[in-house]
Structures are given as structure tokens and as C-alpha cells.
Amino acid sequence: MQEIRWILILEIVYTIAIVLTCLRIIYDTRSTTKTLAYLLLTVFLPVLGIIIYFSVGTNYRKRKLYSKKIIKDEQMQLRVREQIYLESKKIWDSVPDEILKYQKLAQLLLNDGMSFLTGNNKVELLLNGEQKFPEVLRAMQQARSHIHIEYYIFEDDEIGNAIKDVLMEKARAGVKVRLIYDDFGSRSIRKKVIPELIAAGVEAHPFYRVHFIALANRLNYRNHRKIIVIDGCIGFTGGINVSDRYINRGDDKQIFWRDTHVKITGTGAFYLQYLFICDWNFCADQPLAPQTHFFHELKDYAGDAVVQIAASGPDSDNPTILFSLIQAIGMAEEEILITTPYFIPGESLLDALVVAALSGVKVVLLMPDRSDSRMVAAAGRSYYSELLSAGVEIYQYEKGFIHSKTMVSDQQLSVIGTANMDNRSFELNFEVNAVIYDNATAEEMTRIFYQDLKESKKIDAADWEKRPLYKQLPEKLARLLSPLL
């Protein structure tokens, strides 16, 4: 009788827990698809479903991991915002006529993330590690004031140690060097590299330290950004982490790694600097206040590109990067070229691509032939039929692994950054994209894209629909889990 009473009490407690969890899911989750997925997990997987939801499903955007405000005074905030709007309007009034059609995109980023337009930037595309790392090392060697560096993956290998040596050398020479490293992605540098850097005078902090008790949840919200800012006027961002795997040395045993990074010289680096300061103030013991030398105006003319930065994560009100991509896709008139290693678009982005294709815009997607995540790749393939039937062209890169996260529209607009086209990048990770309004950059990006297509195979829509059911079933099952991937 005693055992029956305890069983009854446990059943009541568990029922209450399920009800409360379901109410939390309904109240907290914005996406209907994700809400249904979490509800099914909670109801049909006893105990485990609740654990999964609280591990990976909590809406941190609603709660915000931290505030981006680096100016605490509200009146000062208002004056800064007003000045940003005025300066952005001045830049926009001077752009070429063919760029004016992207004004709504620029306004979106200005309103949603206070990301201001910047003019007179020099933009340099850096393909693969063999182009990026020599340029990064050269720029770091020339640093006079400070080096701010923030990476998801920083490895204890040849290139990691080469960058470490330069950072230590500059710190000893009096340059202020600050490093933010993701505590999970850069775990290989915790024991040896970080103590060496700190001993040389580098200030280094992990972003969102991984503790065992909160392991699953903290692994879910990672800093996926790759940012370098040197002397306040030179910025780097893109898909390339600090790792030897990104450098193609011609070794037959090595997988060819195709990736894209960008160097921005000019005021386009200011927002990257702002993001770094925000992230630094979240993870460091001693916060940074905005200082004049952090935002250094170039006296010499840099270039012609207009640049804006799109950033989002669990610290932002909206999935800004997703919104910016949807807006850019909707504004395209002739051609949209997208490269992404992981593709789980969700309903809104999928609809945007389908609408563009059905409207007569040429839409081309380039993804890896072989992925490093079978589940994610299977979920991505489940969207192909809808895209192909709308006229979207899909290519799979065969030369190696393509890791670039880029989009180019009408040979006028380019997007280069860290965000994949998947739920994790749009909702969970801290990400950053450079939005470049510049014909020369877009034309070069277009040329590079079509060069990559020569190393790729095109998926035939008719053949794709004829695939046997046993191949389609795993993809459809994976798609059911896509909101959680």
C-alpha cells in the first residue's frame, strides 16, 4: 500500500512537471514548428524529453544573455543613436544609383541592430587559409595601438602558434592585445596556449565558460564569430577559424578546404569593434569603455565600398541575420548566388527562396557533396524537392569541403560572414556577417562562385524525384528534428 502511494505521488509530480514544461514551451518558443517538436518530445519521451528541452530548447533571446549597451547613460545613448542615423543618411545620400535599391535592407540593419552605414571602405576578399593567414599576420605585425581577436575555434597547431607568437611579441612591445576564445570550440588552447599568452601580457578570456552542470545548455549557445580588429580601423571576419585544416598545402591526404574571409579597412571595422567590446564586457572581469582610439578614423582615403555589419545571437531582440537575408533575397531582381556548408532554412527562408525563383530570379545554391554531419546533411536534403520544383538550381561541391558562408545578389550586394543557413546560426549562436554594397566586390564574388561551380555537380530535378523511398525516408525523419539541429 505504501509503494502504491509513492507511485501515485510520483505520477502526480511528473504530470505537473509535464504540464508546467508544456506551458513554458508554448509561452517561450516563437516558432510553431519548434513548439510542436518540443511538445512531442516532452509528452512522448518520459523525463528525457524534459531534459532535452531545458538543455537545448530554452529561449535565451527572450531572456538575453547580456545587454549590448556599452554606454549606460540613457541620454547619451539617445544622442549616439541620433548621430548614427544622421551619419548613415549622409552615406546613403552619396551612394551610386544602382545601390539605392537596397535602402530597405540598410534601414532594417540600422533599426534592428543600430548597425550604421559606413563609406569609403577598402574591401579585400581572402580565399582559404593560404590567403587569409599571411594577411592577418602582416596586419598584426603592423599594429601600433591594439589587437582585438575573437574566435570560435583557435587551435594549438602550426598556424595557431604562429598567431600566438605574434600576439605575444606585440603585447611585450606595449600593444594592448585582447583575446576572446569560445570555451568549447577552442578547448585545445586552454592548458598551454592561454597561460603562455597571459604570461606575455595578453588579456584572454573564454566566452560563456562551459561548466559540467550546465554543459548541454552552454554548449548550445556558442560564440561562432570570427573577428579581428587592429588599431580600430582594420577588421577581419568570415568563415575561417584559426586552424591548420583551413590551409591547403597540396597534400593528397588532406581534404581541400574551400572558405571565404574578408578584410575591411575603414570605418566598416567600427561595428566589429563594437561587437568585440560587447562580448568582452560579458566575459571579462574588467569591462572596456568606448575610447577614441578604439574607433580610429583613417586620414588617408581607403576605398569605395559601403559596408554594414549584421549581427545576432541570444543577446539580440530578433534573428537579425535571418531577417537581413530574407530582405536581401526579396530585393533581388536577376540573380541570387548562395554558398553554405549547412542548410536547414526553416519555413521563412525557404519561402523567400521559392518566391524569388518563381518570380523569375535565378537562384543558385552551392553546398558540400560530403558533409561532416550526416544528420544535418540529411535534414538539408529534405528541402531540395521544394526548391528544385520552384526552379532553384542546386550544386554540390566535389573538390573537397566548402565551408564558405556567402551570398551575392545581382552583382551589386555581397554578404560574407560566419552564419550558416540553419537554425543554429539564426537562433542559437552568436554570429556576424559583413554586408557589402559595392559592385566591384560583388562582381568578384560572382566570378569566384561560378569558378566553384566548375568543381561541383548539378542536381537534376527529375532524377532527384525518382530516388527510391529508402533514400528519402532518413531525410524526412531528419527534417522532423531540424528545429532542434
Catalytic residue among 132, 146, 164, 226: 226
Distances from the Cα of 467 to the Cα of 90, 370, 371, 471, 478, angstroms: 55, 18, 20, 7, 17
261 in active site: no
Q: Which of 148, 156, 405, 452 is catalytic?
A: 405
Find the catalytic residue in 182, 410, 422, 452: 410
- Which residue has cell 514544461? 21
Annotated catalytic residue 146? no
Catalytic annotation, pick one of 182, 231, 279, 452: 231
Active site residue 224: yes
Of 146, 224, 261, 263, which is the active-site residue? 224
Separation of alpha carbons 262 and 280, rounded Å = 22
Concerning whether 64 is annotated as a catalytic residue, the answer is no
What angle do helix axes 320-331 and 103-113 make, rounded to 10 degrees?
170
Reply yes or no on whether 351 is catalytic: no
Is residue 226 annotated as part of the catalytic site, yes or no?
yes
Largest CA distance in the chain: 87
C-alpha to C-alpha distance for 320 and 107, rounded to whole angstroms: 12
C-beta of residue 288 within 8 angstroms of C-beta of residue 277: yes
**SS3 state at 145:** coil
Where b means 16+ CB within 10 Å and e means fewer, 307-338 reads bbbbbbbbbbeebbbbbbbbbbbebbeebbbb
Residues 325 and 349: their CA atoms lie apart, in Å, by: 8
Read off the C-alpha cell for 332.
533581388
139-to-128, 167, 230, 412, 436 alpha-carbon distances in Å = 17, 11, 7, 28, 21
Residues classed as catalytic: 224, 226, 231, 403, 405, 410
